[in-house]
A = this chain, B = another copy of it.
Amino acid sequence: MNTSLLERRHRLLGKAAPLFYDQPLHIVRGQGVFLYDADGREYLDAYNNVPVVGHCHPTVVQALAAQAAQLNVHTRYLHENVVDYAERLTATFDASLAMAVFTCTGSEANDVALRMARTLSGREGIICSSSTYHGNTAAVDELSTIFSGGRTTSARVRAVPFPESYRPLRGLGGPALLDAYVAEVEEAIRSFEAQGLGLAGMLVCPIFANEGLPEVPAGYLERVARLVRQAGGYLIFDEVQAGFGRTGRMWGHQCAGVVPDIVTLGKPMGNGHPIGGVVARADIVDAFREHVMYFNTFGGNPVSCAAGLAVLQVLQEEQLLANAQEVGAYVARGLRELRATHAVIGDVRARGMFWSVELVADRNTREPAPAAAKAVLNAMKDRGVLISRLGPFDNVLKMRPPLPFSRGHADRLLETLDRCLADLHV
């Protein structure tokens, strides 16, 4: 590790600026699904979802470079790129989701989505899940229950227990479990109304990524969608992690078969270039723009849209959704096999090229094993494979590689994980 670089960083960015791993990595180069450190050591990247079509994909790099040399300016002049990109992007959604508002980050997208819901409903209450994170602006941070033990710090946000089957609410199962999770949403709506705040909307990740990618009781999203709309609220899906092919479908909500009113986008949208956005019903965008002068200086600029267009092109040309399905299922099978030999694996969950492995101290009590998760991800790094962890107990291994992840890469991931899990027992 580069000690003087770390010291300078501490001095200039602060000691608490987040860094991965007990011994931080000094990464200097990326290519495809690999990252390389300053000593030339190669790491298989099974963590980074932002470079969705692979680190430094030449099609994206060339699109960025060519457009940056030609023109980069705001959207108050006409330009093809922002229109072409909005057209190709909205074409990947249900026909009702027909308009786009571009931002620079997923945080900005969620911030403007909350503004839309609150402005158009004339109400304040937002429902989120009990173990989530949607971004860093002041308004969006009110939903960051993952840092606050599931509680919200704002009266205008209520967290409901996220739907899951591994540690089910009150130990319930079957239809009773679904009913119980839905009843929590009903109760949140009722309490907003009783307080005079009313319901503006519900904002969730359609695959509950930060919650640990739980197995969601079938029918949950349909039923809460109905409740939210009956109460006059807007259903907002955060596709920042779930979107752009991650699940093997273009959008996470397509797995659930529920069409939201507003979708928010970010992270993989420009393969690392700062671009985010909202895709929503045309009547919502029109009404919002009538009420609010929203302008984003960099949002939708020709360079950002060139990156966005290039990502859509590569996803299609390289058939990365099909790859996410196929290699995703292959890894999921491999992880389930590992569960047979490693008692520490309590549960394996998968959605396309997104896998979570829940580590537990005891399979019967399902007591979380966060220290084991931390040990495994540091050991994986030492063996040249990058993963992370997540979930309300920080005990869930999080694997979410760039989508051009092959069976060969998958084998290396699985073999390395097998070894690191075995080392836990030593």
Residues of A within 8 A of B (CB): 1-2, 5-6, 8-9, 11-20, 24-30, 35, 48, 50-51, 55-56, 58, 60-61, 64-65, 68-80, 82-83, 86-87, 90, 98-101, 104-108, 111-112, 114-115, 118, 136-139, 141, 144, 147, 266-267, 271-275, 282, 285-286, 289-290, 292-298, 300-301, 303-304
Known: A12-B99, A27-B78, A27-B79. 5 other contacts (CB 8 A): A8-B87, A9-B83, A11-B98, A17-B101, A30-B71
A50 touches B297 (CB 8 A): yes
Give CA–CA (A35, B71) in the complex, Å. 8
Give CA–CA (A15, B298) in the complex, Å. 19
A74 to chain B, nearest CB (A): 7
Q: Which residues of B contact A26 (CB under 8 A)?
A: 77-79
A147 touches B293 (CB 8 A): yes
In the assembled complex, 5 residue pairs joining A and B whose CB atoms fall closer than 8 Å, in A order, are A11-B99, A12-B87, A17-B289, A28-B79, A65-B69
A111 touches B83 (CB 8 A): no
B8 touches A99 (CB 8 A): no
- Which 9 A/B pairs are nearest by Cβ-Cβ distance? A16-B289, A65-B65, A72-B272, A138-B139, A12-B86, A274-B298, A274-B274, A26-B78, A27-B77
B137 touches A139 (CB 8 A): yes
A61 touches B69 (CB 8 A): yes
B1 touches A78 (CB 8 A): yes
A107 touches B106 (CB 8 A): no
Give CA–CA (A300, B29) in the complex, Å. 16
Q: Name the contact of A71 in the complex, choosing from B27, B107, B115, B147 (C-beta under 8 A).
A: B27
Q: Name the contact of A297 in the complex, choosing from B69, B138, B266 (C-beta under 8 A).
A: B266
> A30 with B72: in contact, given A12-B83, A138-B137, A267-B297 (CB under 8 Å)?
yes
A72 touches B101 (CB 8 A): no
Q: Name the contact of A78 in the complex, choosing from B6, B80, B273 (C-beta under 8 A).
A: B6
> A272 with B295: in contact, given A24-B78, A101-B13, A115-B141 (CB under 8 Å)?
no
B78 touches A9 (CB 8 A): yes
A13 touches B100 (CB 8 A): yes
B50 touches A74 (CB 8 A): yes
A7 to chain B, nearest CB (A): 10
Give CA–CA (A30, B325) in the complex, Å. 43
A80 touches B5 (CB 8 A): yes
B68 touches A61 (CB 8 A): yes
A155 to chain B, nearest CB (A): 14
Give CA–CA (A316, B26) in the complex, Å. 30
B104 touches A105 (CB 8 A): yes
B13 touches A86 (CB 8 A): yes
Write the chain B residue with the least CB distance to A86: B12
A78 touches B2 (CB 8 A): yes
B77 touches A14 (CB 8 A): no
A122 to chain B, nearest CB (A): 13
Q: Which residues of B contact A5 (CB under 8 A)?
A: 78, 80, 83
A130 to chain B, nearest CB (A): 17
A5 to chain B, nearest CB (A): 5
Give CA–CA (A349, B61) in the complex, Å. 43
A389 to chain B, nearest CB (A): 13
> A111 with B86: in contact, given A64-B65, A273-B72, A273-B303 (CB under 8 Å)?
no
A331 to chain B, nearest CB (A): 22
A20 touches B296 (CB 8 A): no
Write the chain B residue with the least CB distance to A272: B72
